């Protein structure tokens, strides 16, 4: 038996377009002599359609597209599609054989944590399914099902000697290792090899990495498909001594963690812009590391002709920042503009002088500069049809070191789930191949340049300490007492927690950005704005 594994990039709601891509891959698989075609969870609709699943017309149209695949009679198909029967809706996989739907498996374990909300949309399945091809008994599971060993053992009891799992598993740090470890645990207790096919692509604030794989009963990874790339891969299965053997000409691939992060951010941005029909992006380039990294990734994702940078200096902006912003834009060949905001800033202060009489300048005037810049970027966006990328990072957004209607203005925040320390690591990794970001942008002290001689550490703890504390709070759920036990100073802990709580109202108004950590400021972070509990 030859199996085709197709990890592809669907667009949610593009039912006919997704099905066209499936048909093209099925045709190629048929020409390659494949017997079974396996793809990702909800492949007809893309994952996750959210409240589109509550519309009867969407479910009917999805099933209509599934029926287009009944024309294939020379290859067997496992296709993911939602299914509505009576008053129940299921997350289903359809087995199409000889041009007819011969089996349907309904997902049993419905995730309802983190970014998942499947109990809102689906009913639980209650029946395990085995399909038989060339005397090979194949069990079917869907994504979350594989994380529960009971399901694997139920299939073993039904005589399965191969399991195919259709997935839409989002990317996050170390997730590939966790998937492989869980699958190997299931193989160890069942002695059943597993074919794992995962979706790729950006969908709003989620990015799927693919990395589909096959692991045999000896726990050997026979195939590891590319991360963040569409791929159609074939593997041959033979039987000897009642065991399945897998033959592949595709050796497993490897990536390092920074390359994974870079690819995740790149694909997320590319898909968000292209799938939503924007012409390109605008970046307020400050001469600092966050906007520089955003530009480097945007240039890679979209190409230089689809990126515009705007430098908006004031009297507080150093010549170094102006020069470095110009140098980086020139090196990449993107269109660069400079707009001095001093005149506008002075006029704003004059307009407010009667109200602000006898009041000293403070962060109000600093924020005013950021808001002037935000208004200019949005004007350019309106006129040209390009989306503004905000450039804040997770450390800043967590602590509120950002300005509502200022540097938070835009449509997509590429670094929203990337800590400042990881911004530096990623920038250095990019430059290790070729110097894309001028080196002194990386080595200089971080500063918002909204006042003279200003640095981020005037307000925040050192990022190396801040990010550790934030990671413990956000991703590990530790308390202030836990942090004290780890040796962090009480005053620093108190300050960080206070900033985190006070900034909730800002985060509720912030734009989306790709989830790349174990706990992002999306559906995983649902704290109340009005809240007196300080962890």
Contact 409, 403 (CB under 8 A): no
Nearest Cα residue to 516 out of 336, 339, 355, 394: 394
Length of the chain as a residue count: 535
Is 143 a known active-site residue? yes
Nearest Cα residue to 282 out of 299, 268, 265, 267: 299
Residue 48 corresponds to which tokens in the numbers above?
């996750």
CA–CA gap between residue 343 and residue 366 (Å, rounded): 15
CA–CA gap between residue 159 and residue 127 (Å, rounded): 15
Is 420 a known active-site residue? no
Which among 21, 41, 144, 416 is annotated as catalytic?
Answer: 41
Which among 34, 48, 81, 143 is annotated as catalytic?
Answer: 143
Which among 21, 34, 48, 107 is annotated as catalytic?
Answer: 107
Is 164 a known active-site residue? no
Contact 398, 422 (CB under 8 A): no
CA–CA gap between residue 262 and residue 429 (Å, rounded): 9
70-90: b or e for each residue (b if 16 or more CB lie within 10 Å)?
eebeebbbbbbbbbbeeeebb
Nearest Cα residue to 332 out of 435, 439, 414, 413: 435
CA–CA gap between residue 122 and residue 110 (Å, rounded): 8
Q: Is the dihedral of CA 66, 67, 71, 74 positive or negative?
A: positive
Q: Is the dihedral of CA 518, 522, 528, 532 positive or negative?
A: positive
Contact 155, 130 (CB under 8 A): yes
Catalytically active residues are 41, 107, 143
């Amino acid at each position: 038996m030859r199996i085709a594994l197709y990890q592809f990039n669907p667009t949610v709601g593009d039912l006919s377009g997704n099905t066209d891509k499936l048909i093209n891959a099925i045709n190629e698989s048929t020409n390659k002599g494949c017997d079974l075609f396996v793809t990702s969870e909800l492949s007809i609709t893309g994952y996750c359609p959210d409240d589109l699943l509550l519309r009867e017309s969407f479910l009917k149209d999805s099933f209509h597209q599934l029926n287009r695949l009944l024309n294939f009679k020379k290859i067997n198909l496992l296709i993911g599609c939602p299914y509505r029967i009576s008053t129940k809706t299921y997350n289903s996989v359809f087995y199409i054989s000889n041009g007819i739907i011969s089996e349907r498996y309904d997902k049993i374990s419905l995730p309802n944590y983190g970014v998942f909300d499947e109990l809102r949309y689906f009913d639980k399945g209650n029946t395990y399914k085995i399909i038989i091809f060339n005397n090979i008994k194949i069990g079917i599971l869907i994504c979350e099902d594989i994380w529960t060993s009971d399901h694997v053992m139920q299939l073993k009891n039904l005589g399965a000697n191969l399991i195919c799992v259709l997935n839409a598993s989002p990317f996050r740090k170390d997730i590939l290792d966790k998937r492989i470890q869980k699958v190997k645990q299931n193989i160890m207790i069942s002695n059943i090899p597993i074919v794992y096919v995962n979706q790729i692509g950006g969908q709003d604030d989620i990015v799927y990495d693919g990395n589909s794989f096959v692991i045999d009963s000896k726990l050997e990874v026979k195939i590891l498909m590319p991360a963040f790339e569409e791929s159609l891969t074939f593997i041959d299965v033979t039987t000897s001594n009642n065991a399945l053997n897998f033959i592949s000409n595709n050796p497993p691939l490897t990536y390092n963690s920074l390359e994974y992060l870079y690819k995740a951010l790149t694909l997320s941005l590319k898909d968000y812009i292209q799938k939503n029909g924007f012409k390109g992006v605008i970046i307020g380039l400050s001469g600092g590391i966050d906007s520089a990294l955003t530009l480097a990734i945007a240039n890679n994702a979209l190409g230089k002709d689809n990126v515009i940078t705007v430098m908006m200096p004031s009297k507080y902006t150093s010549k170094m920042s102006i020069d470095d912003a110009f140098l980086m834009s020139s090196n990449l060949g993107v269109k660069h503009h400079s707009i001095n905001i001093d005149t506008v800033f002075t006029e704003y202060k004059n307009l407010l002088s009667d109200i602000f009489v006898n009041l000293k300048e403070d962060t109000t005037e600093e924020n005013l500069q950021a808001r002037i810049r935000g208004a200019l970027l949005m004007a350019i966006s309106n006129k040209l049809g390009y989306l503004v990328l905000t450039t804040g990072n997770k450390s800043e957004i967590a602590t509120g070191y950002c300005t509502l209607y200022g540097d938070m203005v835009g449509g997509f925040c590429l670094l929203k789930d990337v800590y400042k320390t990881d911004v530096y690591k990623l920038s250095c990794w990019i430059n290790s191949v070729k110097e894309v970001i001028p080196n002194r942008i990386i080595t200089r002290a971080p500063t918002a340049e909204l006042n003279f001689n200003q640095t981020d550490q005037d307000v925040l703890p050192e990022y190396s300490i801040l990010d550790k504390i934030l990671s413990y709070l956000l991703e590990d759920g530790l308390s202030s007492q836990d942090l004290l036990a780890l040796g962090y100073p009480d005053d620093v802990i108190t300050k960080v927690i206070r900033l985190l709580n006070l900034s909730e109202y800002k985060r509720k108004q912030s734009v989306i950005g790709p989830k790349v950590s174990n706990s992002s400021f999306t559906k995983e972070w649902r704290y109340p704005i009005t809240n007196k509990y300080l962890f």
